Amino acid sequence: MKNVLATLCLALLLTPAAGAANADTAAEARHVVLISVDGMGSDLLLHADELGLKIPHMRRLMREGTLAEGALSTVPSVTFTAHTTIITGVDPVRHGVVNNTIFDPGSVKGAGLFIFAEDVTARTLFDAATAKGLDGAAVWWPVTGGAPIGFNLPDISASNLKEARTLLHLSSPAVREVIGTPDSLLGIGGENDVQDGLRTKVAIAALDRKPHLLAVHFTELDGAEHFHGPRSKEALEVLEKTDGYIGEILNAVEKAGLQGSTTVVVTSDHGFQPVEKAVRIGSLFANLGLIEMKDGRLVSWRAFPWSAGGSLAVYLAPGAPDGTTALVDQVLGILTSRPDYGVHKVYRGAEMEKLRGYPGAYAILDAASGFTFSSRLEGPLLEPTDERGDHGQMPGRPGLAASLIVQGPGIKKGHRIGTVRLHDIAPTLARILGLDLGQVDGRVLDEIFR
């Protein structure tokens, strides 16, 4: 009898420790595939039937998982800013990627796009995964150049052979084996980018490594919506093609034996609004002497209009002379005096601070429906735009909400939740993977779990 009791006591003592070990093992065995379809507004999924969309793979994920009514984007609602919030869970003012481009009024075209991971001033899911010893993979995820990711093809455009070689050099060795020669990357990330098929190929190769976290960024839909407009025939055709790429990735997940342990997230960075006219606020600034131009180049500036498509921030130069703010206010007064000047709303003071974007700005402008803000600093105030669609406006504007589908073990099936924020994705995925992101601005989406 004593032996039996001793055995039972020993079993009871060992059970919690064994259970904890199994829980830790299960957590580390979980996998996440995060797919972003750039520009896929939530309205496309919510109205897939009336649009007649042939998207069987996303439809299956919606049936087998949870669909959000929408996911509010960032300020501004642009690609690099939003994707960095998706992967960090914090506002742009905290993660530092406050626009697609780096603020540099010394150049008419700016200092170029955010490229390097060192520009991100917040902890990313990749950082947290690496700290826990989990494997990560990224395919065309923005602002990941030089990131400590074992399998990484960063989002860096390659319009010529030199840029393609640079991109290949900044990619991880495992990616170089998949890509082969730099010629394969020519044109990727350009205006007429048609390289989502290559990104799919790289993502499938990444799944052979069974990474705990794989993030993939598709971009062709965004390009189609810019050039042809949201819900255009061309854009919907690209979305259907993108669904096919998602299907290939899902097949690769199953082939790798990861289907039972993988949470699949399909999201986006923003939606779109149709546009017809561009507003060149820089022209007003030049006419009033706030900026000085010579031979098409910026010579000096007292205040600068920094565009992000559907929104624009006005910055004052350090030590700007007296009268600068009065002139800026005069410009803003002109722009808001008539609705056909294309300004929906001007944010200032405490109301502007609540937007958590464009840190240090004097004012933030939101474009009116049908308008976008040009980054050009000379020419007529208003002109027809070559693009039929744009984004960047305040995230709550019609059509701007991003998409979010979550499917996998422990996720409610055939479930729908209300509107969330892109900020909520990172903390939710950190919960699934058992990662520590520290203090974030988003929340865990507890309502999606069974």
Q: Both tokens of residue 230? A: 């949201």
Those residues whose C-beta lies under 8 Å from the C-beta of residue 401, and which sit 6 or more positions away, are 41, 42, 43, 69, 70, 71, 72, 73, 271, 395, 419
Q: Pairing mode, if any, of strands 213-218 and 311-316?
A: unpaired
Q: Are strands 415-421 and 66-72 parallel, antiparallel or unpaired?
A: parallel
State residue 109's pLDDT score. Answer: 52
CA atoms of 349 and 362, how far apart (whole Å) = 8
Q: Taking the chain (450 residues) in consecutive chunks of 10 residues, what is each chunk's mean pLDDT?
A: 39 32 43 98 98 98 98 98 98 98 74 91 98 97 95 95 94 95 91 88 97 98 97 98 98 96 98 97 94 90 96 96 94 94 97 97 98 94 95 98 98 98 98 97 97
Phi and psi at residue 188, to the nearest 5°: -70, 135
3-class SS string, the chain? CHHHHHHHHHHHHHHHHHHHHHHHHHHHHCEEEEEEECCCEHHHHHCHHHHCCCCHHHHHHHHHCEEEEEEECCCCECHHHHHHHHHHCCCHHHHCCCCCECCCCCCCCCCCECCEHHHCCCCCHHHHHHHCCCCEEEECCCCCECCCCCEEECCCCCCCHHHHHHHHHHCCHHHHHHHCCHHHHCCCCCCCCCCHHHHHHHHHHHHCCCCCEEEEEECHHHHHHHHHCCCCHHHHHHHHHHHHHHHHHHHHHHHCCCHHHEEEEEECCCCCEEEEEEECHHHHHHHCCCEEEECCEEEEECEEEEECECEEEEEECCCCCCCHHHHHHHHHHHHCCCHHHCEEEEECHHHHHCCCCCCCCCEEEEECCEEEECCCCCCCCEEECCCCEECECCCCCCCCCECEEEECCCECCCEEEEEEEHHHHHHHHHHHHCCCCCCCCCCCCHHHEC
Contact in structure between 292 and 278 (CB atoms under 8 Å): no
* Vertex 215: Cα angle to 210 and 218 (nearest 5): 125
Residue type, 145: G
pLDDT for 191 = 75
pLDDT of residue 21: 30
Among 242, 190, 227, 229, which residue's Cα sits nearest to residue 36? 242
pTM over 0.75: yes
CA-only gyration radius of the chain, Å: 24
pLDDT value of position 79: 98
Bridge partner residues of 47 (DSSP): none
Two tokens, residue 7: 């055995």
Cα(13)–Cα(79) distance, rounded to whole angstroms? Answer: 52
* CATH number of this structure's domain 274-390: 3.30.1360
Phi-psi region of 16 (alpha: psi -120 to 50; beta: other; left: phi over 0): alpha
Residue of 414, 404, 428 lying closest to 30 (CA atoms): 428
Domain 31-271+397-448 -> CATH class? alpha beta
Q: Tell me what pLDDT residue 16 has.
A: 33
Q: Which tokens hold the place of 27? A: 């957590």
Per-residue pLDDT reduced to its tens digit, 225-265: 999 999 999 999 999 999 999 999 999 999 999 999 999 99
Q: How far apart are CA 107 and CA 109, in angstroms?
A: 5
How far apart (Å, rounded) are the C-alpha atoms in residues 85 and 94? Answer: 9
Identical fold for domains 31-271+397-448 and 274-390, yes or no, is no
Q: Check residue 297 and give its pLDDT.
A: 87
Question: What residues does each domain of the chain span?
Answer: 31-271+397-448, 274-390
| pLDDT in the model for residue 3 | 45
> For tokens 């007649």, what's the residue?
52
pLDDT on residue 18: 29
Q: Give the pLDDT of residue 112.
A: 85
